[in-house]
């Protein structure tokens, strides 16, 4: 661990490490909510549609409960996302000052798309009671489109940082002659965007399905759980093979557009043909690799479909222009974990598809549901890994081959940044902890209520039987106090 810190420290001013850790921590936390912000509305609308179309009360109940979850999740997502906008200025003023007008427009698109999403989600979440059922559904329908548009803006900005285009440099190194279209539609945008979009739908689908897989394993084998599992799991299972192809294609785009990053994720030291593929393993400063499984020729074959493919190595550029061996190892592990989990999810999707084709029914094995219960967490892990691969693999550049992370960092003292880091960690742990506790409590409350209703118990004490408006104080107090 010490060597890791030393290496991070080696390439910049003292405030670089805390600035990096703060950005990594806040973005790494926010990214866990992103799949739900982008894809949960779509999955909920699918369930909603089913409920309206077939007059299915169970589907409508699920959609309503998912919106109640969405209400809390979206709020936490908004505030943790706003923090990131602040951090672009608080931590990386050098990048925004020089490049803001070159690549900032993507964020402009995102800001408006997000605005639209916030409006539509408010109408959707609060429209259940008084809007006409179909009106309510149609007003919610543009939500996934707004979410896709917002994701486009953010991914366009990140893709630009990886393959910056659309400007020339003047004598003092400042960007001139900005071409906005080129700056938005950079070479990495297409591969990154589709990989990201499908990835977040997968993650949201598997996580939501996982909740009902757990219920199923605990013996709650009713239509409510069947539906809650089948709809999101089917969406995710159908997209899993798609993601397999997209993931393969983005790796090859990185090979072509960012060869040094590719060398880091695959631990390629010297430029060569017939390059072996390493599964895991660790890169040392002298270029040797310890541990891991070596498969001869495979890296060349994967990169260019032939063992004769020449793969650029890390040593093709000076040590100061490439990831350190530790950073390369981190990117490599993140990449390999992502690919491993992706492959396992592929098997799970095939299992599901096979049973569906043969019997039009869910698999009977408990092992299937055990795996499905874990798939959500695993998928969130791949989201983190994909992000680590792309960000750590880009080091030491914040704007690939144009600006170093150390040139962009704020002048604020390292000690202030560490204090801020400490505060932010405490706040985020509390907020995310409280968020999970609230979700668990909601779900437990619903389950108990359902079981109570099934057993014929009276539900008279539930608030909300009275029409909307100020409730008599005594009732509210009774409910608030009596629920515990």
Nearer to other proteins, 146 or 250 (CB): 146
475-479 contacts at long range (C-beta below 8 A, 24 or more positions apart): none
Cα–Cα distance list, 222 to 233, 300, 359 (Å) = 16, 50, 18
CB of 61 to other proteins, least distance (A): 5
Q: What is the DSSP string of 179-207?
A: -HHHHHS-TTHHHHHHHHHHHHHHHHHHH
Q: Is 318 exposed, middle or buried (0-12, 13-18, 19+ CB in 10 A)?
A: exposed
Residue from 15, 67, 186, 258 binding other proteins (CB under 8 A): 67
Q: Where does this chain touch other proteins (CB under 8 A) — which range of 204-212, 290-298, 313-321, 465-473?
A: 465-473
Q: How far apart are CA 289 and CA 237, in angstroms?
A: 36
Supply the minimum distance, in Å, between the C-beta of residue 276 and other proteins.
44
Q: Give dist(CA 238, CA 241) in Å, integer.
A: 7
* 3-class SS string, 118-153: HHHHHHHHHCCCCCCHHHHHHHHCCHHHHHHHHHHH
Query: Which residue, chain included where needed, has tokens 């900032």?
Result: 104
3-state secondary structure of 282: strand
Nearer to other proteins, 72 or 217 (CB): 72
The beta strands (E) that lie in 331-435 are given as 397-399, 403-404
Is position 126 an interface residue for other proteins (rule: CB under 8 A)?
yes
- Binds other proteins (CB under 8 A): choice among 164, 175, 247, 292: 175
Question: Rounded to the nearest whole angstrom, what is the least distance from the CB of residue 484 to other proteins in the complex?
Answer: 6
> Six-digit token pair at 398?
């914040």
For residue 318, state whether it binds other proteins (rule: CB under 8 A): no
List binders of other proteins among 192-221 (CB under 8 A).
220-221
Query: Measured between alpha carbons, how far is 205 from 232 in angstroms, rounded to an integer?
Result: 5
What binding mask, one character per residue, do residues 74-93 give for other proteins by CB under 8 A, x or -?
xxx-xxxxxx-xxxxxx--x
Site map for other proteins, 1-30, x if CB under 8 A?
------------------------------
Q: Quick check: 438 binds other proteins (CB under 8 A)?
A: yes
Residues 348-407 that bind other proteins (CB under 8 A): none
208 DSSP 8-state letter: H
Between strands 397-399 and 403-404, the pairing is: antiparallel
Q: Which is nearer to other proteins, 302 or 399 (CB)?
A: 399
Q: Per CB under 8 A, does 420 bind other proteins?
A: yes
Told to check if 186 binds other proteins by CB under 8 A, we report: no
Contacts of 433 (CB under 8 A, 6+ apart): none
Nearest-angstrom CA–CA distance, 110 and 16: 28
Minimum CB distance to other proteins, residue 247 (Å):
30
Span from 10-18, 70-78, 187-195, 347-355 in contact with other proteins (CB under 8 A): 70-78
Q: Which of 473-484 are b and which e, b meaning 16 or more Cβ less than 10 Å from the residue's Cβ?
A: eeeeeeeeeeee
Cβ 94 to other proteins shortest distance, Å: 7
Number of residues counted as binding other proteins (CB under 8 A):
109
Can residue 231 be called a binding residue for other proteins (CB under 8 A)? Answer: no
Residue of the chain from 176, 242, 293, 319 that contacts other proteins (CB under 8 A)? 176
Q: Which is nearer to other proteins, 1 or 454 (CB)?
A: 454
Q: Kindly state whether residue 180 participates in binding other proteins, applying the rule CB under 8 A.
A: yes
232 is an interface residue for other proteins by CB under 8 A:
no
CA distance 383 to 197: 11
The least CB distance from residue 366 to other proteins, in Å, is 15
What tokens were used for 159? 């893709």
Single out the segment in contact with other proteins by CB under 8 A; choices: 199-207, 259-267, 309-317, 437-445. Answer: 437-445
The residue from 1, 286, 411, 458 that contacts other proteins (CB under 8 A) is 411
The gap between the terminal CA atoms of the chain, to the nearest Å, is 45
> How wide is the angle at C-alpha 381 spanned by C-alphas 76 and 296, nearest 5°?
155
- The reply on whether position 454 binds other proteins by CB under 8 A is yes
Interaction residues for other proteins, span 106-125 (CB under 8 A): 107-112, 114-116, 118-123, 125
Compute the distance between CA of residue 172 and CA of residue 195 in angstroms, rounded to an integer.
37
Can you tell me which of 9, 273, 453, 475 binds other proteins, judged by CB under 8 A?
A: 453
Task: Rule CB under 8 A: say whether 305 interacts with other proteins.
Answer: no
Q: Residue 16 or residue 388: which is nearer to other proteins going by CB?
A: 16
């Amino acid at each position: 661990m010490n060597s890791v810190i030393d290496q991070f420290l080696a390439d910049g001013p003292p405030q670089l490490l805390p600035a990096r850790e703060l950005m990594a921590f806040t973005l790494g936390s926010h990214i866990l909510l992103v799949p739900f912000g982008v894809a949960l509305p779509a999955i909920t609308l699918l369930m909603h549609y089913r409920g309206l179309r077939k007059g299915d009360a169970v589907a409508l109940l699920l959609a309503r409960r998912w919106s109640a979850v969405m209400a809390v999740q979206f709020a936490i997502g908004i505030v943790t996302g706003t923090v990131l906008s602040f951090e672009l200025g608080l931590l990386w003023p050098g990048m925004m000052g020089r490049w803001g007008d070159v690549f900032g427009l993507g964020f402009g698109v995102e800001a408006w798309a997000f605005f639209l999403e916030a409006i539509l989600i408010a109408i959707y979440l609060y429209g259940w009671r008084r809007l006409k059922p179909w009106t309510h559904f149609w007003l919610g329908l543009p939500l996934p489109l707004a979410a896709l548009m917002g994701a486009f803006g953010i991914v366009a900005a990140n893709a630009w940082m990886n393959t910056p285009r659309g400007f020339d440099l003047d004598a003092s190194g400042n960007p001139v002659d900005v071409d906005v279209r080129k700056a938005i539609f950079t070479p990495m945008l297409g591969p990154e965007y589709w990989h990201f979009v499908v990835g977040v739908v997968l993650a949201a689908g598997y996580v939501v399905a996982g909740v009902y897989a757990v219920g199923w394993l605990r013996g709650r084998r009713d239509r409510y759980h069947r539906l809650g599992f089948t709809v999101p799991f089917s969406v995710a299972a159908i997209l899993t093979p798609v993601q397999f192809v997209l993931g393969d294609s983005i790796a090859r785009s990185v090979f072509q557009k960012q060869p040094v990053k590719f060398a880091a994720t695959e631990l390629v030291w010297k430029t060569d043909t017939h390059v072996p593929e390493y599964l895991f393993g660790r890169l040392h400063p002298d270029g040797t690799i310890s541990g891991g499984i070596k498969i001869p020729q495979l890296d060349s074959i994967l990169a260019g479909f032939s063992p004769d493919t020449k793969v650029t190595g890390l040593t093709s550029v000076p040590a100061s222009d490439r990831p350190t061996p530790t950073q390369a190892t981190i990117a490599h592990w993140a990449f390999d974990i992502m690919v491993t989990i992706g492959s396992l999810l592929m098997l799970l999707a095939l299992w599901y598809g096979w049973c569906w084709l043969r019997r039009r029914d869910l698999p009977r094995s408990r092992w299937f549901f055990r795996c499905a219960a874990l798939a959500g967490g695993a998928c969130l892990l791949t989201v983190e890994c994909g992000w680590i691969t792309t960000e750590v693999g880009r080091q030491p550049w914040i704007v690939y081959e144009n600006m170093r992370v150390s040139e962009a960092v704020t002048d604020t003292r390292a000690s202030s940044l560490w204090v801020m880091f400490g505060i932010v960690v405490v706040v985020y742990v509390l907020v995310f902890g409280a968020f999970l506790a609230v979700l668990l409590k909601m779900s437990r409350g619903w389950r108990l209520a359902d079981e109570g209703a099934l057993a014929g118990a009276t539900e008279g004490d539930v608030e909300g039987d009275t029409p909307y408006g100020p409730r008599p104080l005594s009732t509210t107090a009774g409910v608030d106090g009596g629920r515990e």
